[in-house]
Amino acid sequence: MKIRVGQGYDVHKWVEGRPCILGGIQIPSDKGPQGHSDADVVCHVLCDALLGAANMRNIGYHFSDKDPQWKGVASTELLKKVMEMIREKGFELSNADVTIILDTPKLNAHIPAMKENLAQVMKIDVEDISIKATTSEGMGFVGRGEGIAATGVALLVKS
């Protein structure tokens, strides 16, 4: 059995009047992340972690923000495609772990829905995905309310 690990990191600027989509779930907020797609940092770090573990480059390589077909796309669709790509290479996800970094809005009440949604999108057991939220304690661009960040890892197995 082959075991591979990959990591992902993503940041997006907060903008007024944009929906805040995290883990494919709309979170009540007066701001949302700016991006070519829906700018869902949770899905983006998962895509990058999965692609990295499979040695398949990164999300920008496969879904360029210069390509109009990805304009406004739900990042859950990108994650579905990435899961298909890694499975075509013979990999299966063992587990993934994501940390979302933002001071507001508070996310604890939304994490179970994010996990359920992502488990369905990725066709995995909900126990195989961990999502945590933390703050930057008022420091840096996240603490000033200028943006959101996330990091994640994925462990793939290949028989």
What per-residue confidence (pLDDT) applies to 85?
98
pLDDT (tens digit per residue) in 101-150: 999 999 999 999 999 999 999 999 999 999 999 999 999 999 999 999 99
Does the pLDDT value for residue 159 go beyond 90?
Answer: no
In the chain, which ranges are continuous DSSP H helix?
Answer: 41-53, 59-62, 75-88, 111-122, 140-143
Domain boundaries defined on the chain: 3-158
Q: Does residue 108 sit in helix, strand or coil?
A: helix
Cα 75 to chain centroid distance, Å, stands at: 8
- The answer to whether domain 3-158 has CATH 3.30.1330.50 is yes
Per-residue confidence (pLDDT) for residue 135, from 0 to 100: 96
Q: What is the dihedral of CA 5, 114, 101, 6, to 10 degrees?
A: 10
Quick check: bond before 105 cis, omega within 30? yes
Query: Could you give the 3-state DSSP secondary structure of residue 36?
Result: coil
Annotated binding site: 10-12, 36-37, 44, 58-60, 63-67, 134-137, 141, 144
Tell me the pLDDT tens digit for each residue of 60-106. 999 999 999 999 999 999 999 999 999 999 999 999 999 999 999 99
Q: Is the pTM of this model over 0.75?
A: yes
Binding residue numbers for a divalent metal cation: 10, 12, 44
